[in-house]
A and B are shown apart, each in its own frame.
Chain A
Amino acid sequence: MISDERLLQMLRDADALNALEHGRTPAPAVRRTRLIPFAIAAAVLIAGAGLALFGSRDRSSPGSPVEIAAVAPRPESPDPAAAPTSSLLLAVYQNGAGKLSCVNWSTDVLKGRAITSLSANELTRLGLTLACDPEAARILVVGLEGPAGSLPSSDARAQAVAQCLSTTPPCAEGVFNPRTCAAAGCLDTEVKVRIESLALR
């Protein structure tokens, strides 16, 4: 009989090989009954956040209608002037239709590590710690690195980047990482970006 530890190790091996060869594929869709209360709560959040953000957006999604999503409340918002950041992590949650449902971000979870030093799984795990929408169908974990002024430093900018990432189609097949390639249009040119995608439903 295979022990739990052995099974988990082989699962991690299997995932590493899948990520290496094919990237991740969506899990089968599943609907849960508690979706309805969350949908109502999300609608309220969306409406509230929309009213709050509509006037304060400092960057809109290129070529797409303004869409509004919730930004997860965070206990403290880093002050870019007081503490310039060189990297941050965006957790972009999307619903089943691929629309942005919620954004959370942090400069702390990377603990100063370069995004290139993280494995794909590490990046995804860190993104999952930035909880936001329990009913989301997919999470895009976006690692950003660059001059402090070029990185999102407010909820509104994080929201705008997330919105852009959610609405920009991936680059054509054949590009090494179509999502990362597509993200270039959403960010300043000096920003390095890494994106991992994981189906949650």
Chain B
Amino acid sequence: MKRRLTELTADPHAGEDLSQRTWLAVWEAVRDGRYDPQRAAMTTYVYAVSQNVFRNWARSRATSASHAPAIAAERATGAAPRVDPIEEAEVIDELRRALRDGAPGLTAGQLQALQLLSLGLTDRELARALAVAPSTAHARKREALDALRDHIERRFFTERPASVRKEQAEQP
């Protein structure tokens, strides 16, 4: 975790500092009963807390040009200003299961694309790995992400699946 935080912050001292803040936050959450082992694995929870700690740190340094990409990425994600780490950990745990074992509604091809995307492959790299044209790879990425989003939203949110919403939106 410390290594990851150091990579994210590009500063060993900040990485060390955020690592300590993460462990303190985890300890407080456990002490106060905010961590529920039934909802997420401890490893995932610690990871989610460290993400939160990093986001807060990045926001506090929003004026720094070197961290502008992190801030921009954070804004682009549409994440709430404060994400409950246990909720985030729950979703990440479900994604971990999906990557390992698949999930209802995900085809083998979609799972394969997701496994490759989880490595951080670009569309071009995905096309190469799947031995298909870039446009086909892009289409597969779209399908896979939509299917995964449907699964996550069915599992955790009361909203209807994205594909249903899309169909409804297309209706006159």
Contact = CB atoms under 8 A, between A and B. Distances in A.
Given A14-B92, A17-B92, A200-B129, A28 B111 contact: yes
A17 B100 CA distance: 11
Interface in A16-31: 16-18, 20-22, 24-25, 27-30
User: What does DSSP make chain B's interface, helix, strand, loop or mixed?
Assistant: helix
Contacts of B101: 25
B92 A5 contact: no
A79 B107 CA distance: 45
A24 B77 CA distance: 27
A27 B96 contact: no
A134 B131 contact: yes
Contacts of A3: 76-78
Contacts of A9: 73, 77
* Band of interface residues on B: 35 or more
Contacts of A30: 108-109, 112
B62 interface: no
User: Contact residue range for chain A?
Assistant: 35 or more
B131 A8 contact: no
Contacts of A201: 112
Nearest to B4: A16
B91 interface: yes
A125 B145 contact: no
Given A14-B92, A125-B119, A2 B153 contact: yes
A116 interface: no
Contacts of B22: none
Pairs A-B, 9 closest by C-beta atoms = A134-B131, A15-B118, A14-B95, A6-B77, A30-B108, A11-B118, A14-B96, A28-B108, A3-B78
Interface of B: 4, 43-44, 47, 51, 73, 76-79, 88, 91-93, 95-96, 98-102, 108-109, 111-112, 114-121, 125, 128-131, 145, 148-149, 152-153, 159, 162, 165
